[in-house]
Amino acid sequence: MSISSLKIYNANIITPNRVINNGTLIVENGKIKLISEVSIDYKTEQEIDAKGNFLSPGFIDIHVHGGAGHDFMDNTIEAYLEIAKLHARYGTTSFTPTTLSCENEDLLKTLELYEQAEKENTAGAEFIGMHIEGPYFSMKERGAQDPRFIRNPDAKEYEDIVKRSSIIKRWSAAPELEGAIEFGRFLKSKGILPAIAHTDAIYEEVLAAYEIGYSHVTHFYSCMSTVSRRNAYRYAGVVESAYLLDGLTVEIIADGIHLPPPLLKLVYKIKGPDKIALVTDAMRAAGMPPGESILGGLKNGLKVLVEDGVAKLPDRSAFAGSVATTDQLVRNMINLAEVPLTDAIKMMTATPAKIMGVDDKKGSLVEGKDADIVLFDEQINILYTIVGGKVIYNSHHHQ
């Protein structure tokens, strides 16, 4: 049921600059009405006693493929709604559904379903635009992307796709490919974020791409070049470029497995919380028991094995996707990377909101912004998830 006003009191409220102890937050008509450092008498239709737990902006996951046994490439409305529901249980209040390299007709179908599912999505995390991952990638750094679909940017193709859909907000590609610079320029002109991914670029190629608008690096360290030697000379790769170019933002899969703790610490030390977004990059096995699963759509996806908290290729030679949820990412940054809680939250809220251009409405607990809020305990166990002022998950009802 829709509540038009809500009061949350006795909360440790994480605001952009500090934690307010024992604060009160009032929600009216889906927006944050006010935040108070003292307990206030304010009549609302619903009240939640936070019992001294942490109140934070809702988590924003800007790279997710699936969960609860579904993938966006399954091309069903049910997949969209169930994935949104599953991730909301772990604190995600908004996210960007993400595709994989595929046939064009499958991609167009996925985009079409997004618009339909958006209308029906009342019990899950909110969609904030689509992220297309591929197919313009480096064959060498394709990772678990299907080699049958990998190709160079094709203007006729991508212009047609963008023309048909207004919900594409980000597109990941390898900037060194022939036609990738024109592609980036085109995306930028349409208000779509060009991101660097699955790439074997050297610094000079990254710089050229950065200058025309490729400002973000998709799953940093995964499927990208580092220092290499060509004819005895050394070249800096994408990893070094992201460190050198202060303006580049990066996202990391902080599941504790894709990147071990020393790398999590290194990224944090060099880039800092204002330039890092935590992402799950979760596939369909997120929230499911370990065992066999499929990466990508049911129709022509890849068989994978989920064990040790990660998806692997069946021969265990490489990772093939993450099964993380956003609460884990925050927990890992605190426990494994030894980052302060407020910075871990920033990388899960304000920074991703800024990268996706929704920071005017989301990503921080500030009066006037959307009431996307999560309440959790010291171990980052999610107690309540609130989207647009509506409680969509309450741990007491799900025990």
Per DSSP bridges, beta strands 302-307 and 291-295 are: antiparallel
Q: Return d(Cα 266, Cα 248) in angstroms, integer.
A: 16
Verify whether residue 372 is a known catalytic residue. Answer: no
Judge whether 57 and 364 are in contact, CB under 8 Å: yes
C-alpha to C-alpha distance for 180 and 200, rounded to whole angstroms: 13
* Four-residue CA torsion sign, 280, 345, 367, 371: positive
CB 210 within 8 A of CB 149: no
| Active-site residue, from 61, 255, 281, 359 | 281
As a whole number of angstroms, the distance between CA 288 and CA 285 comes to: 5
Amino acid at 134: G
Tokens 């025309």 sit on residue:
212
Contacts of 88 (CB under 8 A, 6+ apart): 123, 124, 125, 385, 387, 392, 393
Burial of 265 (0-12, 13-18, 19+ CB in 10 A): middle
- 114 Cβ contact partners less than 8 Å away, ≥ 6 residues apart: 80, 97, 127, 130, 167
Give the active site residues: 281
